[in-house]
Amino acid sequence: MGNILLTLAVGALGAIIALKLKIPAGAMIGSMVAVAIFSVFTGMAFFPNTVKSAIQTVTGAFLGMSVYRKDLKEIRSVAVPAVIMIVGLAVTNLLIGFGITMVSDIDLVSALLSCTPGGVTDMSIICMDMGGSSSTVALLQTARLIFVIAFFPAMMTFMSAHFDKADHSNAAEEKEELLEEQQEEKVKKDRSLKMILVTLGFAAIGGIIGYKIGMPAGSLTFAMLVVATFNVFTSKAYIPMKVKLAAQTCSGAMIGCTMTMNDVLRLQTMIAPMIIIVVGYLISNITLGFFIRKVSNLDLTTALFATTPAGVSDMALIASDIGGDAPKVAVLQIFRLVMVIATFPMMISMVVKFFG
């Protein structure tokens, strides 16, 4: 028990430092790095795997509460781009994953999850379920997120300015109206203890169902779907940010415990996989963006930012700054996140069974 509390304390300290430094997914990354260092140099780090399903359930609940009824209505107008995006990202995921296995000694499960366009926390947790190296996944996913957020928007903005001459005036007006409506919905959320418990109750039901079914990341996927359904009909699903940060801190601690000196020595071998992931997604992003513009009524700015594998709010805000349709970017990004988490683990599991 003493080692668990000590590990949590180290993880919490790392999370606080990372959040202060504004590092992406700071709570999880900071906790993971701090506990990993603690584990490598002392061998005392310990965190029970029995809480894995609980962490998945809370993570799924947070994803679910970001889905609103307006998102479902809006997705009808971008159905074709949404399908193209998911198919394109699935193909990209497989190509990059197999490419990573060719240039490194990373196993296929870890390679495929390392380049899956989902969240750092989500993919690392899912990796635990599927028997891969969660520390490898967390490291490569973090590198992907940092590079995408740091460099992709500038490149997307440059291409939009040179290749997209469309008039965005109507889109801008619609964008502002929809963003205001969604903001009003969020403000109206009942933040009482009762609603928090109700949301956690629905998440727990979904988490238990997913756990019993035994599918990869089942607790996360079903908790997300149940809470999303509840929020679509009521717009009242709510869990405080502190709960999410606590879950991310625990997740980071659990991953950090698996880190050994051998993993540290392997860091230099991660350079080639990182380059493959970044270059692969840059090519995919540009290809999908131009193709979606050609077969739909979306402008290039919106298409490029909608298919950028990064955060929903980050891409929507950046797109709105340069004249893109922020609501459509947000809807497509949410759709990407939900579909990736709900379907990609099963796809990866089948691919690994076939080639393994």
For the residues 37-57, what does the mean pLDDT come to? 83
Q: Report the pLDDT value the prediction gives residue 44, as an integer from 0 to 100.
A: 86
For the residues 136-152, what does the mean pLDDT come to? 80
Torsion, Cα of 284, 75, 346, 212 (10° steps)? 150
Q: How far is CA 209 from CA 86, 149, 247, in A?
A: 26, 35, 20
Model pLDDT for residues 339-352, shown as the tens digit of each residue: 888 889 999 999 99
Q: Report the pLDDT value the prediction gives residue 167, as an integer from 0 to 100.
A: 45
Count each helix (H run) and each strand (E run) in the chain, helices first: 17, 0
| CA–CA gap between residue 26 and residue 348 (Å, rounded) | 27
Share of the chain above pLDDT 70, in %: 85
Contacts with 290 (C-beta within 8 Å, 6 or more apart), sequence order? 163, 300, 303
Q: Which tokens hold the place of 65?
A: 């509460």
Model pLDDT for residues 252-285, shown as the tens digit of each residue: 888 788 777 777 777 778 889 999 999 999 999 9
Residue 156 pLDDT grade (very low, low, confident, very high; cuts 50, 70, 90): confident
Q: Report the pLDDT value the prediction gives residue 73, as an integer from 0 to 100.
A: 73
Model pLDDT for residues 239-258, shown as the tens digit of each residue: 888 888 888 888 888 878 87
Q: Which tokens hold the place of 153?
A: 């928007």
Q: Report the pLDDT value the prediction gives residue 314, as an integer from 0 to 100.
A: 57
On whether the CB atoms of residues 288 and 88 are closer than 8 A, the answer is yes
DSSP of 16-67, one letter per residue? HHHHHTT-TTHHHHHHHHHHHHHHHHHS-----GGGHHHHHHHHHHHHHTT-
61-65, 107-111, 226-230, 326-330: lowest mean pLDDT where?
326-330
pTM confidence score = 0.68
The residue behind tokens 């957020």 is 149
Count the neighbouring beta carbons within 10 Å of the beta carbon of residue 149: 16
| CA–CA gap between residue 71 and residue 312 (Å, rounded) | 13
Length of the chain: 356
85-99, 169-183, 316-330: lowest mean pLDDT where?
169-183
| CA–CA gap between residue 330 and residue 319 (Å, rounded) | 10
Residue 169 pLDDT grade (very low, low, confident, very high; cuts 50, 70, 90): very low
Residue type (1 letter), 277? I
